[in-house]
Structure 1
Amino acid sequence: MEAGPHDTDQQRRDALSPAPGLSPDGPDAPDDPGVISGEVEVELRPARRLRVWQLAPIVMLAVTGSLMFGFPLAFGTGGGGPVIAMLGLLIGCCAAGWGVMAARRVGHTWPGLPPRGSGERPDWRVLLLYAVVVAVVVGLAVWRVARLR
């Protein structure tokens, strides 16, 4: 609308003013980076991660178990070597299980498996792969301890 000789001052101001919702420097959208608002988004739930008091006993058990398992295998100490090694293997496996349960409690999942509470079924091939890997590792450990005699 052009301002002509017969237009009033109000019509001229309406023609020059921006459309509703626009300021002279652009749109007044909340996601516009140029617009500064007083609102701050804060996550109310704390981050789900393992705390030091959860990790410390798991790490201590794992270190103790691996040393008990590793020293008789490496140095072949006396007649109690296989017993100490199997006890170390048991303690190490307990630490691993404790770590898995603590991680599951804070919401972590194994790679390839659906998140907890999603309602999805895990793929049977991934479960089979995990079972085979665990069986091979346990089989090799028991075979190595049995060879200590």
Structure 2
Amino acid sequence: MDTGPETHRLPEESFGSAGWGSDAFSLPELTPLPPAEPADEGRFMERELRPERRLRLWQLVPIVGLAVLGSLMFAFPLAFESGGPLVGMLGLLLTAASAGWGAMAARRAGYAWPGLPRQGSGRRAGWRALLVYTALALSLLALGLWRVSGISG
């Protein structure tokens, strides 16, 4: 049987004498493997199969880029009085979005905020830590809105 121009020939009897559809086709005889020897205790190494959970550079670059763009859009109308409140609000929105994106990426990588349990640990978050983070976020939002509303349009 010819298998192609640059390959070798297969023997004619390799597929059985009666062809594919008959009972004459038989599989080659299989031999069992010898039993595995037990590993020495000194050579046994336990290793985690999953990769280490951490943020990679390709995950951080778009988050940091969005944060820089947003903070510059927020800062320039405040510093140079150009662009108006619309650009300042858009910058504030982009900065807040990048902060949320970064927090979600860090949580998926296994990091946790101080005072909060890691994801999947089964523990509950302390109400004091939640109260502090909520107050901090609301105060930053209020300060940002106050500064943008102060821009003369």
TM-score, with structure 1 as normaliser:
0.70
Aligned with 1:124 (options 116, 124, 127): 127
1:90 paired residue number:
93
Q: Counterpart of 1:104 in 2: which secondary structure?
A: helix
The separation in 1 between residues aligned to 2:44 and 2:99, in whole angstroms, is 44
The separation in 2 between residues aligned to 1:118 and 1:42, in whole angstroms, is 21
Instruction: Map 1:30-109 onto structure 2 (within 5 A).
Output: 37-77=42-82, 80-109=83-112
Q: Percent identity?
A: 57
Say what the alpha-carbon RMSD is for the aligned residues: 1.4
Give the partner amino acid of 1:38: R
Gaps of 5+ in 1: 1-29, 31-36
2:20 paired residue number:
none
Q: Counterpart of 1:49 in 2: which secondary structure?
A: coil
Q: Counterpart of 2:122 in 1: which secondary structure?
A: coil
Give the partner amino acid of 2:134: A
1:71-115 per-position Cα deviation (integer Å, ceiling 9, x unaligned): 1111111xx421101100000111111111111111111110111
2:30 paired residue number:
none
Q: Counterpart of 1:90 in 2: which secondary structure?
A: helix
Note the C-alpha offset of 1:54.
1.0
Note the C-alpha offset of 1:41.
3.9
1:7-54 per-position Cα deviation (integer Å, ceiling 9, x unaligned): xxxxxxxxxxxxxxxxxxxxxxx7xxxxxx434443322110011221
Gaps of 5+ in 2: 1-40
Q: Counterpart of 2:129 in 1: which secondary structure?
A: helix
Report the structure, 1 or 2, having the larger helix content: 1
1:114 paired residue number:
117
Aligned with 1:144 (options 141, 144, 147): 147
Give the partner amino acid of 2:149: A
Note the C-alpha offset of 1:126.
0.8
